[in-house]
Structure 1
Amino acid sequence: MKQVLSISTLIAGVGLIIAGTSAAQAQDGSMYITLKGATALTMRSSYDPVDNNSLDKYSTDFSDEWAVSGAVGTRLNDFIRLEAELGYLKNTTEDIDSNAFILTRGGGTSFSTSYLMGSVFFDLPLNDQLAVYAGGGIGVAKPNMQKTEVNVSGSPYTETRTMETEDVYAFAFKLSGGVAYEMIGNVHLIADYSYLRTSDFDVKHITRYNSTPPTASKNTLQTNIETHMIGVGLRYDF
């Protein structure tokens, strides 16, 4: 909870800086908004048990990944920009494997991550229409894993295992670099690459043994999100 409050305070501070600077420079046309879509490639992610039970360690592959984001920002000068971004990353869990079993193959479980980021960008104009930029930011992410339930055949009984996130938040950071091309007026076409990563967060894990009588055990897994994104979008300068 203290970490979430600290992150929220930091983001609020970045927002106040952006708002204050924007108000001071609004007459100079320094404000802008950005809308962007991206294809994503999330690295193979592991789910590690906190209690170090090796049979409860899983690995995951993702597929059908995409991301969208919107941002508002202000330009401090010709080279430096401040930006607040709200984004959404969606992917499908293709495989979930454990050390002892293959639990799902082509399971199709939905996994999504929303994030709020405060960033600083540095622009390098190449000519009147084209510029390259790079920057990064920090913020908070809210991952959401749909309840995943699988049956594991064993002896002398079968097991039903479920995994899902609860109400969790994680620290996140993002690094980006790209190009911006002014097409008409104040409208820029942008293309960029971004690297997004979160800190570890908890996933609830329950194993139900279909024995007589039925029993169950609960433990906590930890994982994170590490994603590469290639996106295109539009930026409009006011």
Structure 2
Amino acid sequence: MRLALLAATACSLAVTSVSIAASAAEPGPYLSFAAVWLRISDTDADQLSITYDTGFAVQGAGGYRFNDWLRAELELGYGRAEVRSLEGPDITLDFEGEGEAFAAAVNGFIDWPLDGKVQPYVGAGIGIAHTRLNDPAILSPRGRIELEDDRSTNLLLQGEVGLSVAITESFAFVPSWRYLRIANGNNGVDDTKAHLFRAGLRYSF
């Protein structure tokens, strides 16, 4: 009798756990916001290398979960980082300039519907990025050499891996790492590539 009671209790707890996990992944819309630590990779330009200071970004998205596995979203973002220096084989020059990017992307994700509060996922996205380099100048031994501002709009590609950690049935904490590439290279200058370390919140309706 006692064994049967324990078995029934265990089954009840298991069903409750699965029910809670399933309710957190029910189909429906969601909103998300992320604060981002931005690290832009050095950009090679002929025999020079452009280096950047650590930057930041903010991103917001509205999406829809189709089932336990699939969801998609439209994302808007803004990022900024300072250009640090130009480095060549025999010289390093300080550089002044503020880089900005406004981006819009469509992302798709695959979630692993595990029991419990933690759910890993992977995803990828495609979109456009409008980049601006404001007030650029080279600080040389001969003085400050001012350059023209640069603006362009280009294709954006990105991939992401992360975790969704349930806080409540509606809210989740979402840490992730993202690799981003903007196809703005030309005339011997490489595309812009960046690593984004994101701390996000997601609210599911």
Name the larger-Rg structure. 2
1:193 aligns with 2:181: no
Q: Which amino acid aligns with 1:95?
A: S
Shift, 1:129, TM fit? 2.2
1:83 Cα deviation after fit: 0.9
1:180 corresponds to which residue? Answer: 164
Inter-partner Cα distance in structure 2 for 1:114 and 1:61? 20
> Is the 8 Å Cα contact of residues 110 and 122 (structure 2) preserved in structure 1?
yes
Q: Alignment RMSD, CA only?
A: 2.4
| Deviation >6 Å, runs of 4+ | none
Q: How many residue pairs were aligned?
A: 180
Give the letter aligned to residue 142 of structure 1: H
Q: Which string of whole-angstrom CA distances, capped at 9 and with x for unpartnered residues, describes residues 90-120 of structure 1?
A: 111111234675331xx44211111111111
When normalised by structure 2's length, the TM-score is 0.78
Q: Secondary structure at the match of 2:147?
A: strand
**Partner residue in 1 for 2:63:** 73
Tell me the distance in 2 between the aligned counterparts of 1:230 and 1:120. 18
Change (3 A) 1:174 1:133: same
Tell me if 1:87 matches 2:72.
Answer: no
Alpha-carbon separation, structure 2, partners of 1:88 and 1:228: 14
- Structure 2 residues without counterparts, runs of 5 or longer: 1-25
User: Which residue of 110, 116, 122 maps to 2:110?
Assistant: 122
Choose the corresponding residue for 2:191, options 218, 221, 224.
224
Structure 2: which amino acid aligns with 1:73? Answer: G
Q: Deviations over 1:43-89 (max 9, x none)?
A: 111234xxxxxxxx532111131121001100111100011111122
Deviation at 1:145, TM superposition (A): 0.6
Tell me which of 132, 135, 147 is aligned to 1:162: 147
What is the TM-score of this pair, normalised by structure 1? Answer: 0.68
Mapped to 2, the partners of 1:62 and 1:153 lie a distance apart of 21
Aligned to 2:131: 143
| 1:222–1:165 CA distance, 2 compared to 1 (3 A) | farther
- 1:146 aligned counterpart, secondary structure: strand
Q: Percent of counterpart pairs with the same letter?
A: 21
Q: Which residue of 2 aligns with 1:233?
A: 200
Specify the alignment match of 1:38 in structure 2: 36
1-side partners of 2:80 and 2:184: how far apart? 18
